[in-house]
Amino acid sequence: MEPLLKKLETQLAALPVKVALDLPGGRRLGAGDAALRLSFQDWSGLATLAAGQIGKVGEDYVEERVGIEGSMRDLMIAAAAMLPGSPVASDTSWWTQALRRAKSLKSHTPQKDSEQIRFHYDISDDFYALWLDPRRVYSCAYYRDPAMSLAQAQEAKLDHICRKLMLRPGERFLDIGAGWGGLLLWAAEHYGVNATGITLSHNQHAHVNRLIEQKGLKARVQMLLLDYRELPEDAPYDKIASVGMFEHVGQVNMPAYFGKIHRLLTPGGLVMNHGITAGSVDSGQLGAGMGDFIGKYIFPGGELLHPSLVLRDLAMGGLEMVDTENLRPHYARTLWAWSDALESRLEEARAVLRKSHGEAGSGRVLRAYRLYLAGTAMSFERGWIALHQILATRPDGNMHTGTLPGAQSVYPFNRDYIYR
């Protein structure tokens, strides 16, 4: 045991924040005035920490085998420093790739996808409302001005997407994975489109339909409880957005996903795919147990792809990428805003979650989300994962469509219109 304790003492001394460890039996390692304190019930958790398996330490915290006192920001600084190396995966062996594909195939049937979406998004609307902005926009904000609040940055993001898509009154607009309706309603109210949103979350479906009714938009807006694979293809959409959804599609289904979008999009139309992307070209999950933690407690079935792979599958689906923008630091700031908001309302969050999950379940969910929000913020800050907005067209084959010869779409092939 002494070699383990000596290793931990050396690691603690090198950390950029003061950390103390309470060991089984009452002994303590680390600074007496530590900003961060971890208490362990058994020695196996200490060995996990010393090995830098921070995702497994997070699991021990969720399951109450480890206690944590201190701020989430200090915890993430310490966690990053404890890693033995980069957590970005680099295993390119054929066997690993085959296993990933088999796992993806098993995890992304329509039934499994529906269950996995409800696992995350149907936890409790009241819980999400505690730490999201008033529109409940659950995706990366756009801090066009660094002085913006979260709510302002989310509205800026909604408008950024609508501008990129060149939305016009009367156009048919589809929002795949419409969440709590932020983009769907913004596009309808500010750009005059006829909007359709889909989701697999029962809570989101009910919430958005209440808003549609309250706002008097039933003539132009509808929210459907529907899998994207089941969308009818007989009436193509002029513009399509998919925001924070394609992470749930699965690598094995990505060609079919973009093929479906191609068939849903009118020739010459635009599609915006906004989603989290992997930092590794190999597109394995984050190491050090972090990917396993997210898959177990937060996003079962979630898969991230490097943008190079996304662009390959997009092109194979018959779409042409015309603009790609990386908003990675914007998502780090968004997640810290969510994390700080949740940390400021922990007692309210416990009370809300008790209604849906009981005493034991509420604590488990809350502990998992505290780590998820802060840990993901850290991952975006450090470039382990990213957020890409990919704008694409379905070329119509007409050399005279558009403002430039050969554009074959409404896209003007310059960015001036977005920022004008």
CATH number reported for the structural domain that contains residue 349 in this entry? 3.40.50.150
Residue 7 has pLDDT above 80, yes or no: yes
If one compares 89 and 172, the residue with the highest pLDDT of the two is 172
- The rounded mean pLDDT for the chain is 92
- Same domain, yes or no, for 371 and 394? yes
Tell me how far apart the alpha carbons of residues 206 and 118 are, in angstroms, rounded to a whole number. 13
- Same domain, yes or no, for 34 and 57? yes
Among 30, 50, 82, give the residue marking a domain's end. 82
What is the predicted pLDDT for the residue at 90?
Answer: 58
Q: What is the CATH number of the domain that holds 56?
A: 3.30.1050.10
Tell me how far apart the alpha carbons of residues 150 and 276 are, in angstroms, rounded to a whole number. 19
Here the tokens at position 420 are 């004008």
If one compares 287 and 375, the residue with the highest pLDDT of the two is 375
- Same domain, yes or no, for 293 and 413? yes
What is the predicted pLDDT for the residue at 228?
Answer: 95
* 229 falls within a domain: yes
Contact indicator for 227, 113 with CB cutoff of 8 Å: yes
- The pLDDT of 126-144, averaged and rounded, is 97
Residue 324, helix vs strand vs coil: strand
* 161 falls within a domain: yes
What is the predicted pLDDT for the residue at 97?
Answer: 58
- Same domain, yes or no, for 314 and 175? yes
- The pLDDT of 377-396, averaged and rounded, is 96
- Same domain, yes or no, for 323 and 370? yes
* 59 falls within a domain: yes
* 48 falls within a domain: yes
Residue 93 has pLDDT above 60, yes or no: no
- Same domain, yes or no, for 185 and 40? no
* 87 falls within a domain: no
- The pLDDT of 361-368, averaged and rounded, is 95
Question: pTM for this structure?
Answer: 0.93
Domain carrying residue 63: 2-82
- Same domain, yes or no, for 259 and 372? yes
| End-to-end CA, the chain | 65
CB atoms within 10 A of CB 330: 20
What is the predicted pLDDT for the residue at 111?
Answer: 77
* 88 falls within a domain: no
Contact indicator for 272, 391 with CB cutoff of 8 Å: yes
What is the predicted pLDDT for the residue at 94?
Answer: 47
- Same domain, yes or no, for 145 and 238? yes
- The pLDDT of 277-284, averaged and rounded, is 81
Among 22, 55, 82, give the residue marking a domain's end. 82
Tell me how far apart the alpha carbons of residues 231 and 89 are, in angstroms, rounded to a whole number. 35
- The pLDDT of 15-34, averaged and rounded, is 90
Among 54, 82, 110, give the residue marking a domain's end. 82
Tell me how far apart the alpha carbons of residues 356 and 191 are, in angstroms, rounded to a whole number. 37
The count of structural domains within the chain is 2
- Same domain, yes or no, for 251 and 334? yes
- Same domain, yes or no, for 32 and 104? no
- Same domain, yes or no, for 139 and 264? yes
**pLDDT (tens digit per residue) in 191-228:** 999 999 999 999 999 999 999 999 999 999 999 999 99
- Same domain, yes or no, for 113 and 60? no
CA angle 194-200-205, nearest 5°? Answer: 55
Residue 315 has pLDDT above 60, yes or no: yes
Treating both helix axes as pointing N-terminal to C-terminal, what angle do 94-107 and 110-121 enclose, rounded to 10 degrees? Answer: 80
